Chains A and B, each alone.
Chain A
Amino acid sequence: MTKKAFRGLFFCALLGALLFRTVRLDLRPMHHDEANQALKFGDLLERGEYRYDPKDHHGPSLYYLTLPVARLTAGRSLAATTETTLRIVPALFGTGLLLIFLLLLGGLARETVVSAAFLAAISPALTYYSRFYIQEMLLVFFLAGLIASGWRYLQTRSGWWAAAAGLAAGLMYATKETSLILFGALAGAAAIDRILRPKAVRHEPRNPAAVLAHGAIFLVSAFVPAWLLFTSFLRNPKGLAESVHAFGTYLGRAGEAGVHAQAWFYYIKTLLYSRFGHGPVWSDAFIVALAVAGSIFAFGSEPGKDGHPRLVRFIFFFTLLAAAAYSLIPYKTPWNALPFYLGLVLLAGNGAGMIWRASKFLVIKVLILAVMAPGILNLASQDYRANFVDYANPTNPYVYAQTSTDFLKLVRAVEGIAAVHPEHERMLIKVVAPPDETWPLPWYLRNFERVGYWTDMAQAGDLREAPIVITSAGFADEAARRLEGGTQSAFYGLRPEVVLSLYVRQDLWDAFLKSPKSSS
């Protein structure tokens, strides 16, 4: 492939990735986890407060990287931020991931890089979680950065690339504690690569002083950002130590997966074939098949004139080890598959690239493209469906404990009632629900000044003093009894199987029905 063709095709892939990731970021209702992250970020935005939470929320990088975007677009008020303000951060990292692929040139052939870029651009999984305000896409970006910088270091033996690799590793750690699994998989892949290399090459002479110096540069570059972020820029000195203690928490959670326990084959099954109820079939089998081909080619003799089999083999071993580790851990959520999914995309790029190079004749190349076209179109169509049509539909395999679109009707009702209440956003709202049936309400009610959250009806006081009461279905009967009539009630879906009950003082409800907001 010529440089000119490569540049043109890569730009198209990048543009496609940007569009899929950034258009209509407000479409999907905020997920429980996103709302949690958003509120935690709100403390940092409004009061400059961040304190690492060793039990939940993961690392600090997401919040600090959101800060400049939010300051530029919304100032210092969480109320002024929107879903787009927050989701644009992972969306940009998800798009930037393709740019990291460019650093792999030399290790991967141009055809491989451009194919991987196209596959990443239209991957439903990578797109879906690039539009999701959680840490996963940042982790994948930094992981790709570490692999690329490591590769560049091996080619140049430059201290700058050692520093870049260290920075990526440090940011991986500051993003998610489970990055340790990925460090283990990377180390394992490097060890296998070393074992498989010919002895003569394995023991090539190196300058021990330079190796030591670069090792030190790597460690310092990794430590400094992690230290600064975990300690909230030295305001919480215990933060870094707490991140180490958090391993115990996450190790326990991984083993005692509870409601997130899945069989070892969950990820591979989800990737190959998913169908729920009468919903459509979802499958990333095209990527998996190309990845298998790319892995086989990695052990062949022809890596492409501008490629290097060593990097492809390293990616293969990393993908295999990371997939095995994540599959063996009982705790599984679909977004946890992304780090090894990155490896699959790169290997699939290698597969597609090698098939493309199978012949020099244009006619054959057109035929190859024609054979692959249904797979590409199917992937792109699934990407569109997953992110712009079925973004909250439980039949979508990437939809996991997602807030229902019905929930937004509750939000609109509360906003409409506030518009007719004399105190507007100062009106008292009482929410009585267990924590797992409360979120993302705090995000959507962030403009309201007087919202109280209780998990026990007995502690919520007199419900009649609040013009609006929201309860979980489990508290609905008791709430109705305590309110003693005079209210209009309505149910709204929070998630599948989870229903919230809204109680509105009758005079307000009647006024709301007469207002233009009731019909909007």
Chain B
Amino acid sequence: MKRALCSASIALLGLALVLPGAGRGAQDQDKEVLKLQLPKPMFVGTPKNIRTPNLEPITGRPRGPFLVPLGTVLLSAGKPVTSSDKEPVIGELAFVTDGKKSGEDGYYVELGPGVQWVQVDLGKPQPLAAIVVWHYHSQARVYRDVIVQVSDDKDFISGVTTLFNNDHDNTSGLGIGKDKEYIETFEGKLVDAKGVKARFIRLYSGGNTSNDMNHYVEVEVFGIPAK
């Protein structure tokens, strides 16, 4: 009896497994897998070799107007700059706030490879409206893991606010950011500071699509001067 029950169960299980397939087989017997012919890559001869600067943006439209509170001024002009790389490869840290934004050689500071930061000291906490950064705009390239943080703590241990983070795989170890990467242009990247009050502004990056180095032509911090 036990053996009969067992055999019946196996038979039923077999039917259950086979029947749906058999039904589908019957439905699909006049069909086949759609084989898509995907387009092959087109050949073109040796591409252009580029070693010269290009001041034109590759893509995107001009940035629209960005509204700030009345009385907003440039706070960062000539302010002291420190960095994780004490001895820049090219240029000087003072270039970051010297007001010169040319894309040519002699206007940017180059920091070593990997994750590096520059920090601007505004002297005292002030309400910030916008931060604009120009990494290197004489060539279409993308800087990796760009993070903009502000704080009143010069070591960025406490009271840190992250305003921008496009480190999508946490290379820098400061958390995954949801902001988008962008191609450097002469317009710079504008980060909305949303009125946050801070004294120090720290900007991280982790190399770029052309090499592993980090560059800054200029950083501008706008806000309402503290009275």
Contacts and interface: CB of A to CB of B under 8 A. Distances in A.
A498 B59 contact: no
Given A56-B43, A435-B41, A499-B58, A493 B168 contact: no
B181 A497 contact: no
Contact of B105 (A278, A435, A491): A278
Contacts of B51: 276-277, 394, 496
Interface string B183-227: 100000000000000000000000011110000000000000000
Contact of A477 (B44, B45, B59, B211): B59
Looking at B47, B48, B181, B208, the one whose CB has the most chain A CB atoms below 10 A away is: B47
B151 interface: no
Interface string B48-76: 11110010001110000000000000000
B90 interface: yes
Nearest to B56: A497
A225 to B, nearest CB: 26
Contact of B42 (A57, A450, A453, A477): A453
A477 B211 CA distance: 24
A436 interface: yes
A499 B209 contact: yes
B217 to A, nearest CB: 15
B142 A436 contact: no
A493 B212 CA distance: 11
A493 B181 contact: no
Contacts, number: 122
A199 to B, nearest CB: 48
B45 A56 contact: yes
Interface residues of B, number: 37
Interface in A30-45: 32-33, 36, 39
A435 B46 contact: no
B128 interface: no
Q: Is the interface of A mostly helix, strand, loop or mixed?
A: mixed
Contacts of A431: 41
Interface string B150-185: 000000000000000000111000001000111100
B24 interface: no
Contacts of B42: 435, 438, 453, 455
16 contacts: A32-B47, A434-B44, A435-B42, A450-B36, A452-B38, A453-B39, A454-B39, A473-B140, A490-B181, A491-B182, A493-B210, A495-B50, A496-B210, A497-B141, A498-B47, A509-B168
Interface of A: 32-33, 36, 39, 56-57, 253, 259-260, 276-278, 333, 393-394, 400-401, 404, 406, 431, 434-439, 441-442, 450-455, 459, 473-474, 476-477, 488-493, 495-499, 509, 513, 518
